[in-house]
């Protein structure tokens, strides 16, 4: 078998990052952070809900659950106990484009965390009884998500923003799809997608890169045992502009999400060139709704007292993204807030932002980024997600790009994104739907 291939170390924030590709295709990326006593590790699998066909809706999240239910070596209680008795944490999450299993322990117990995670991902039993038990848990989880109006409003908007692609479907699945999934379907999805070239192992903290690579060689060899037969990426988004989606519930409060289609991470959707528009777009989100001094917070909360909080943000997948503005309020204030938001966005489109606002947003992002990546868990997560996506930028390089953004670039992306008729998702108490439709249909 061939030997692992490594690249030279590079500076990554304050520490040193290293990368090695093992013979079977498994990638290992680490950052050594001197002075720490902890070790954070994650196994990032390049598959999520967008890799599912309609009849497998929710299988990625279902598999995440079932891989905790026992291996040839450990029962479910032994899996969690192996980490928790050391004072550590073990968990996982599923997204639209990836699934991650992660652990945090003292550096002295790094070998245990590595062994437990690799055991789960390669030697789980996926017994029929365990699948049925987790099916009931996930259906309960679906009901919990349905009862959260903020999450329900976000799902409404996401489904419309990403219409026509598998991004429109929720990560968790539906009660019907989860109820129909069989053990064989889940097992087949696991064997097709959990292959060496589709997995990144990332670690940060008190990390010995060379030792970790040696520990992972058997895992890499086992994952390389069969061919990667995963599906290619589904069709692109076909956005349907200008709509109001309302779900009335007997609540005293209402959650609203206003969404616009926006650029994905990469210009071609496959990880070769970063879409430069996302830098000014993120700064625009900061100016509009990035904190208590932002335009929308000052106008909606401080001056008018219409809502407790209002936020703006942008999120992106490989080839598509969404720019959103979110708030919660009394039902009879939703239309008034929508009108205020539309006026604020019109002002930005017509007159742009000031140099002072841009400088404040750049400073805010710089400080927030530095604070966000102080912990090894956060750095591990970024290392893994960036490597999986093919994003080779360091955090320092990202911040340098933000510093180079001009007010003209912010104005250009505002004119491009904010003039498209948006989707408004509203969940909660009864609202004036006809007025909301008029506001959205007669957009900027």
In degrees, rounded to 5, the angle at the alpha carbon of residue 293 between the alpha carbons of residues 287 and 298 is 95
**For 230, which DSSP code?**
P
Work out the end-to-end distance of the chain between its first and last CA atoms, rounded to an integer number of angstroms: 61
Among the listed residues 65, 71, 55, the one whose alpha carbon sits nearest the alpha carbon of residue 185: 55
The CA radius of gyration of the chain, in Å to the nearest whole number, is 23
Phi, psi dihedral angles at 255 (to 5 degrees): -105, 135
168 is catalytic: no
What is the SS3 assignment for 61? helix
Q: Measured between alpha carbons, how far is 84 from 82 in angstroms, rounded to an integer?
A: 6
- Residue 402's DSSP bridge partners are none
Which residue in this structure is represented by tokens 């999934």?
181
The answer to whether 399 and 13 are in contact (CB under 8 A) is no
Q: Is 63 exposed, middle or buried (0-12, 13-18, 19+ CB in 10 A)?
A: buried
Burial state string for 401-432 with b = 16 or more CB within 10 A and e = fewer than 16: ebeebebebbbebbebbbebebbbbbbbbebb
Q: Measured between alpha carbons, how far is 133 from 131 in angstroms, rounded to an integer?
A: 5
Q: Three-state secondary structure along 127-147?
A: CHHHHHHHHHHHHHHHHHHHC
Q: Which of 31, 52, 64, 168 is catalytic?
A: 64
Which residues does the annotation mark as catalytic? 64
């Amino acid at each position: 078998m061939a030997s692992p291939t490594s690249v030279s170390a590079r500076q990554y924030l304050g520490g040193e990052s290293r990368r090695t590709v093992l013979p079977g295709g498994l990638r290992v990326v680490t950052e050594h952070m001197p002075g720490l006593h902890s070790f954070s590790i994650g196994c990032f699998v390049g598959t999520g809900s967008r890799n599912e066909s309609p009849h497998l809706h929710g299988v990625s999240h279902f598999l995440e659950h079932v891989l905790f239910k026992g291996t040839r070596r450990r029962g479910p209680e032994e899996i969690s106990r192996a980490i928790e008795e050391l004072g550590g944490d073990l968990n996982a999450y599923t997204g639209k484009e990836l699934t991650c299993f992660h652990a945090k322990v003292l550096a002295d117990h790094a070998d245990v965390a590595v062994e437990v995670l690799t055991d789960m991902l390669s030697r789980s039993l996926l017994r029929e009884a365990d699948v049925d038990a987790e099916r009931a848990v996930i259906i309960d989880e679906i009901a919990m998500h349905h009862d959260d109006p903020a999450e329900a409003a976000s799902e409404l908007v996401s489904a419309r923003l990403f219409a026509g692609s598998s991004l429109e479907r929720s990560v968790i699945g539906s009660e019907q799809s989860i109820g129909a999934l069989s053990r064989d379907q889940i097992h087949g999805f696991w064997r097709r997608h959990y292959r060496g070239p589709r997995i990144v192992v990332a670690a940060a903290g008190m990390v010995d890169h060379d030792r970790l690579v040696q520990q992972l060689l058997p895992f890499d060899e086992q994952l390389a045992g069969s061919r990667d037969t995963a599906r290619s990426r589904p069709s692109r988004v076909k956005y349907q502009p200008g709509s109001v989606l309302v779900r009335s519930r007997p609540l005293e409060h209402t959650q609203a999400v206003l969404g616009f289609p926006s650029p994905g991470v990469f210009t071609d959707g496959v990880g070769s060139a970063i879409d430069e528009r996302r830098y000014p777009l993120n700064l625009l989100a900061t100016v509009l709704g990035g904190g208590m001094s932002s335009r929308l917070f000052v106008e909606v909360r401080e001056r008018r007292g219409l809502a407790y909080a209002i936020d703006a943000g942008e999120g992106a997948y490989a080839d598509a993204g969404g720019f959103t503005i979110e708030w919660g309020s009394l039902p009879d204030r939703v239309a008034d807030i929508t009108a205020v938001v539309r006026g604020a966005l019109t002002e930005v489109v017509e007159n742009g932002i000031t140099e002072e606002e841009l400088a404040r947003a750049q400073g805010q992002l710089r400080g927030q980024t530095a604070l966000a990546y102080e912990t090894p868990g956060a750095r591990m997560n970024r290392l893994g997600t960036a490597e999986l996506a093919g994003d080779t930028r360091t955090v320092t390089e990202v911040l340098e790009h933000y510093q180079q953004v001009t007010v003209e670039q912010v104005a250009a992306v505002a004119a491009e994104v904010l003039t498209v008729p948006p989707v408004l998702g509203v969940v909660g108490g009864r609202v004036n739907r006809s007025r909301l439709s008029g506001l959205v249909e007669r957009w900027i």
